[in-house]
Structure 1
């Protein structure tokens, strides 16, 4: 949970913060709002980026990782591995600049490089780190990369043999150095220091590839063509009015454009096709009148017929209805209608 943290006036003249970039300084100040009451927080650039740069798409976790590296190099923060094996960082000068009334207990492991404090995992002095680091004197650690060979000494000395002399121990040490260095390296004598064959248990923190803002989910599309195409975008009232204005020699008054726009919008809402509305607008542009006549012009474009009225269901060659007469041969005269 974020907290309110004060910023002292000396912050802006700090040699540590002025040695890093301005975005790194912002990251330093912003993370004080999210660190606990002991100045500790998880060492994760993605989490920090989401907390303090949520509205800045140009700042990515790669940039925040660079900020943390700059601050660590200048001593602004200390990055460490807790007794639970996870990465954390804290502010070494936290209590010099933050005055917290009744600070809550930290739930995160303490830093092993600075003054010992209460470990949030061990609920007191850190005991897990001591248990993990404690190794019996003279014992061979488990999972040693060097296989046991003829040069390995027995764990218990034989009663028939005395303890090895200083010269014998030096010879064995030289031989071990030769095996570890490989056949191309000449053996070198040491001053009694120990030789560590295995590498560091903590791999270096590296970022494989850069990150870019936006979604990382790519849509590959459909693998099987369906033969269907996307429907055409619906024609809007603004589009039709824009075509009408573009066809005019001079721009019509705003009242005329607004009246026509409302009329076109209502016609589209009724379900009238855009082609009929477009034909009505063309007729209106050729014979400008009051905007209220647009509805009549659209109706004319929809229902105009070349000859009279035609009732649905009748053949096109049937003439229009005529009044009843009294012909001599009624069957012949009204054969089509009887």
Structure 2
């Protein structure tokens, strides 16, 4: 929920604020009321554009992503990955410029680079999780072995104690730990409640119809935790293709041109056109810049440049050139074999 925030007069003469474009500065100002009491917000260009630029259809998510990139380079915001694997951002210098009387608890992860000692929403305290430590964490039980006992954070075999200090209760507890940890009972005694399993069980365990694998069954390509399944192959987005075109230009094109190219590129990707053809069309557009609407024709030219057109002499050597019909002067000599 948006909140009332403070904008200082010094913002408009700040050196870092004047390093970015006017639209990027407006996006920065718009982030102030949208961020929570700790200056944090989701790092998603579509979400930010929907709450800051709802009445400006020409300022698309591609433009917002460009604004966020400029703000991050200027050091006005910090973009980071939280302990839950999602992307977040926070406004640098938030606690120095925003005086909040009753600061609420943040529900978002804290930035471990700038605020390592601040409260983290998912951790409900100081964040102790790191993104690089995520592969060592296990979420849920393995599907292939639902009855496998969970190992305790105790030694497999307890340290020996003097016989005088061992009671019957401690002996039973150690035997139970040995059974859970998988240590065979050398004495051959059965612990209370333990029964021998039959050698050949006629009932096979019921498994899922699909091949089970360790980890969660939920496909979550955006999460850094292991899920046990291979995530779908990453696809090229319209932002990346347009970003490559902007990076190849000597000067940054106008925002309207970038937005128009982004919409056309997104539409072409939705039609199933390969990104290589769109890249080729963008290269042709960069070599001969015109109105952005000609990008579709340039992509079509890149796709069908080798397919050829109508049968013309010299274009397709296997097709004979067309010859106009002419009446022979001597019909008897021309059609002697057919007459």
User: Under a length normalisation based on structure 2, what TM-score does the superposition of the two structures give?
Assistant: 0.41
TM-score (structure 1 length as normaliser): 0.41
Higher relative contact order (CA 8 A, sep 6+): 2
Radius of gyration: which is bigger?
Answer: 1
